[in-house]
């Protein structure tokens, strides 16, 4: 099935290129490109039963003239539709061509989300469908229209059928009630029914998770020696005594685990997980102090320049008095500064290099790298963290993550890492008060903000990212910024940061907020990453329903870092999912709930799931499947010479051979 895609009708040179750019080169890879979701058009809802918040299919006819109106950069197309049970408005943004397709009386099958608009339940930007059934929705590939993509997949499936034998041993398949491969692939793309889709997903996810875990085990069984670091116990106490506060019990315990790893002759490969604000930085700095006491260099990599600078300032205060010479290497340095930094690192004049991914560019060579720390690791690809550790000779690796992950899942995703959990917050924090604010209460929120700012406090506004295709409805950061500045809070100092700004402008805006020159920071989720502004006491999250619970919890952690009472306002209509967030501040409980509700893929976004194509993405919070595959992998590896185990191990090697290295730490 490693047939080139050019064999498929309709794929000419241009489309071939587009597919290749998306990493799809063969028929097999196209078949493995699974839908992101499905539009369930198997049943339609009568308009009179449609409620705000529902996503549904409706069968209607056009009941009036189409109207068109312009507002800022939006073209708003509106038409009334009816199915005799009721009549409702339908609204599209920036799709002016639809107007021509809506003569009065035309029958339409629409699929989309119902929302409250000016007192009415309306359908917002629904798709106009042609067939009933379950329709696959793929991640969009630039240069390939959705319909062409569907047709190519269909053709690829035809080519595969009968030619791609089921590779899982039959006994194993039977034992776990897994459907056959061809059935699974066909129904994963074009399900005959929701039940067939479920069976297909289960089969594909099972296979993927099983092979991945086998691959991890194969790697691990090779063992790994690494840099062994010796230091006096006094080094640890010297560090603690420098801290302006007493360490929490959790910090002490985790650092104990880290210290034991450093001393062992095996290379450390440990992830420290802890809620935002749990004090992971102190643990990282302590580990660096120990490495230094043992005579080794360290590197600390952060995902953004702002965060790197923040760590740099912290390290100068805490570590320099202990004799650790600290340097900063980030993209915005001048060429000359870059050269000097590279020289200082190579000569061992820096004991600690702090930076962004500039730390792993080709030119950087370390003198004796003994410890590598990556902060907020969920922001990095596994590949990047591997590259950094390759800069040394099997250095110790410590990764810090503020994404709490349910235990079952981390066993699988980070099977190659030992995990420590910082499950205690430093004393004296007042928990952030979380409230859901429906649209009708918005005015009150602005009054509250004015009072907070009058008392010298600061506030964040976070807006969801908007997909290109999604000519929107949700308030993008720019619109919120304009609205605040010109209408709502013109007397306040407001800054804007978003992903499409130049890094220098973005950093400058963040800096003005950090130093208190701005009262309000409006942003997309870029601030999710580690900004520390203790004076900020209010977090407003627009369109909160668009975020996962774990992500909302992370965002909320940006406030409540100082002595003042802090607030998080979720701008949305109340629902049980959001209410859960108002009821607890326990990150692990929230992660567990998020996984149950949205599937584990959402916890990581697509960034992380690159290694696991189908399994993680399609598992619907299925902890049972995680456990089943975990046990099966263990059982197979216990008897690696049985025919079934051999077949599966071979498959795992094939499937993950290239990726194995990326997955592996050190
Ligand atoms: P995160 O785990 O999110 O990286 P940080 O390391 O940034 O958290 O710590 C958050 C804040 O808590 C910092 O201002 C830090 O100085 C403070 N902090 C860390 N540990 C303690 C402690 N044991 N007692 C009091 N404050 C602490
Ligand atoms: Mg941190």
Q: Kindly report, residue by residue over 214-229, the tens digit of the pLDDT.
A: 877 776 544 467 889 9
Rounded alpha-carbon distances, angstroms, from residue 333 to 140, 399, 406, 537, 604? 36, 25, 39, 33, 31
Q: Which residue has the tokens 């129904």?
A: 187
Q: Which ligand 1 atom is the nearest neighbour of the CA of 534?
A: 14
Output the pLDDT for position 610: 35
Phi, psi of 627 (to 5 degrees): -70, -45
Tokens of 409: 């899942």
Rounded alpha-carbon distances, angstroms, from residue 602 to 19, 211, 367, 550, 619? 24, 21, 40, 9, 10
Q: Which ligand 1 atom is the nearest neighbour of the CA of 557?
A: 3
Q: How far is the CA of 339 from the centre of ligand 2 (A)?
A: 28
Band of pLDDT at residue 386, cut at 50, 70 and 90: low
Output the pLDDT for position 391: 67
d(CA 95, CA 132): 23
274 lines ligand 1 (CB under 6 A): yes
Residue nearest (by alpha carbon) to ligand 1 atom 25: 426
**Is 363 a residue whose pLDDT tops 60?**
yes
Region 409-416: mean pLDDT is: 63
**Is 151 a residue whose pLDDT tops 80?**
yes
Q: How far is the CA of 563 from the centre of ligand 1 (A)?
A: 13
Q: What ranges in 502-548 are assigned the alpha helix state H? A: 503-514
Contacts of 117 (CB under 8 A, 6+ apart): 89, 91, 124
User: Which range, of 105-109, 177-181, 473-477, averages the lowest pLDDT?
Assistant: 473-477
Rounded alpha-carbon distances, angstroms, from residue 18 to 25, 139, 141, 175, 392? 10, 13, 7, 41, 37
Output the pLDDT for position 366: 93
d(CA 567, CA 662): 40
- Bigger pLDDT: 563 or 203? 203
d(CA 618, CA 55): 19
pLDDT digits (tens, 9 = 90+) for 591-643: 777 766 765 444 333 333 333 444 444 443 466 777 788 889 889 988 989 99
Other CB atoms within a 10 A radius of the CB of residue 195 amount to: 10
**CA 292: distance to chain centroid?**
33
- What pairs with residue 482 in β-bridges? none
**Cα-Cα-Cα-Cα dihedral sign, residues 21, 23, 24, 30:** negative
Rounded alpha-carbon distances, angstroms, from residue 446 to 367, 452, 464, 531? 54, 10, 20, 24
User: What does the DSSP 8-state code read for residue 160?
Assistant: H
Output the pLDDT for position 603: 38
Q: How far is the CA of 247 from the centre of ligand 1 (A)?
A: 9
587 lines ligand 1 (CB under 6 A): no
pLDDT digits (tens, 9 = 90+) for 460-484: 999 887 654 444 444 578 888 999 9
**Is 392 a residue whose pLDDT tops 70?**
no
d(CA 570, CA 646): 52
Band of pLDDT at residue 161, cut at 50, 70 and 90: confident
pTM over 0.75: no
Band of pLDDT at residue 527, cut at 50, 70 and 90: low
- What pairs with residue 458 in β-bridges? 536
- Per-position b or e across 374-396, b if 16+ CB within 10 A of its CB: bbbbbbbebebbbbbbebbebbb
**Is 331 a residue whose pLDDT tops 80?**
yes
Region 262-285: mean pLDDT is: 89
- Highest average pLDDT, of 103-107, 269-273, 515-519, comes from 515-519
Mark the residues whose beta carbon lies below 5 A from ion ligand 2. Answer: 530
Q: Which ligand 1 atom is the nearest neighbour of the CA of 251?
A: 23
- Highest average pLDDT, of 133-137, 389-393, 434-438, 552-556, comes from 434-438
Pocket test for ligand 1, best of 254, 279, 310, 514 (most atoms within 8 A of CB): 279
Q: Which residue has the tokens 């469908």?
A: 129
Residue 451 backbone zone (phi > 0: left; psi -120 to 50: alpha; other: beta): alpha
Residue nearest (by alpha carbon) to ligand 1 atom 16: 279
């Amino acid at each position: 099935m490693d047939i080139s895609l050019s064999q498929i009708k309709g794929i000419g040179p241009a489309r071939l290129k587009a597919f290749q750019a998306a990493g799809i080169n063969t028929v097999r890879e196209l078949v493995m490109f699974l839908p992101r979701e499905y539009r369930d058009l198997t049943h339609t809802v009568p308009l009179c039963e449609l409620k705000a918040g529902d996503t549904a299919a409706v069968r209607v006819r056009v009941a009036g003239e189409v109207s068109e109106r312009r507002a800022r950069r939006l073209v708003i197309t509106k038409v009334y539709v009816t199915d005799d049970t009721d009549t409702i408005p339908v609204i599209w943004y920036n799709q002016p061509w639809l107007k021509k397709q809506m003569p009065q009386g035309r029958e339409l099958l629409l699929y989309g989300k119902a929302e409250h608009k000016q007192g009415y339940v309306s359908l917002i930007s629904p798709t106009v469908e042609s067939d009933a059934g379950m329709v696959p929705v793929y991640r969009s590939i630039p240069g390939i229209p959705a319909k062409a993509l569907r047709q190519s997949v269909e053709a690829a499936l035809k080519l595969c059928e009968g030619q791609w034998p089921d590779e899982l041993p039959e006994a194993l398949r039977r034992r776990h009630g897994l459907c056959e491969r061809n059935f699974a692939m066909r129904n994963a793309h074009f399900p005959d029914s929701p039940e067939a889709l479920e069976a297909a997903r289960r089969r594909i996810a099972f296979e993927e998770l099983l092979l991945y875990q086998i691959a991890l085990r194969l790697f691990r069984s090779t063992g790994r020696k690494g840099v062994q670091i010796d230091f006096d116990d006094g080094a640890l106490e010297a560090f603690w005594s420098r801290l302006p506060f007493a360490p929490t019990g959790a910090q002490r315990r985790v650092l104990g685990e880290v210290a034991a790893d450093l001393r062992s002759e095996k290379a450390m490969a440990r992830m420290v997980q802890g809620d935002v604000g749990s004090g992971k930085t102190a643990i990282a700095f302590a580990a660096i102090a120990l490495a230094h006491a043992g005579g080794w260099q360290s590197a600390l990599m952060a995902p953004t320049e702002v965060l790197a600078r923040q760590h740099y300032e912290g390290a100068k205060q805490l570590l320099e008095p202990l004799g650790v010479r600290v340097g900063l290497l980030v993209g915005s340095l001048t060429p000359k500064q870059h050269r000097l930094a590279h020289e200082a690192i190579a000569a061992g004049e820096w004991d600690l290099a702090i930076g962004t991914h500039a730390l792993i560019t080709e030119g950087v060579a370390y003198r004796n790298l003994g410890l590598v720390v990556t902060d907020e690791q969920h922001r990095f690809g596994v590949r990047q963290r591997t590259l950094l550790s390759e800069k040394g000779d099997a250095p110790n690796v410590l990764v810090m993550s503020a994404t709490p992950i349910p235990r079952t899942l981390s066993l699988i995703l980070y099977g190659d890492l030992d995990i420590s959990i910082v499950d205690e917050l430093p004393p004296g924090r007042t928990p952030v008060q979380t409230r859901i604010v429906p649209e009708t209460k918005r005015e009150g929120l602005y009054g509250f903000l004015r009072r907070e700012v009058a008392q010298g406090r600061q506030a964040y506004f976070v807006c969801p990212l908007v997909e290109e295709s999604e000519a929107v409805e949700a308030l993008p950061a720019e619109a919120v910024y304009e609205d605040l500045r010109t209408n709502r809070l013109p007397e306040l100092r407001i800054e804007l940061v978003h992903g499409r700004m130049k890094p220098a402008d973005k950093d400058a805006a963040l800096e003005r907020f950090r130093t208190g020159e701005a009262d309000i920071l409006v942003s997309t989720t870029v601030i999710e990453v580690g900004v520390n502004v203790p004076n900020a006491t209010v977090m407003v999250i627009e369109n909160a329903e668009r975020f996962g619970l774990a992500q909302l919890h992370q965002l909320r952690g940006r406030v409540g870092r100082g002595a003042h009472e802090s607030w998080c306002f979720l701008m949305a209509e109340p629902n049980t999912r959001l209410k859960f967030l108002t009821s607890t501040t326990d990150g692990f409980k929230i992660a567990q709930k998020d996984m149950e509700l949205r599937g584990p893929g959402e916890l990581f976004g697509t960034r992380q799931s690159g290694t696991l194509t189908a399994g993680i993405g399609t598992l619907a919070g299925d902890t049972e499947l995680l456990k089943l595959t975990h046990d099966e992998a263990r059982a197979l590896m216990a008897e690696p010479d049985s025919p079934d185990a051999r077949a599966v191990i071979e498959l795992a090697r094939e499937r993950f051979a290239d990726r194995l290295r990326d997955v592996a730490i050190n």
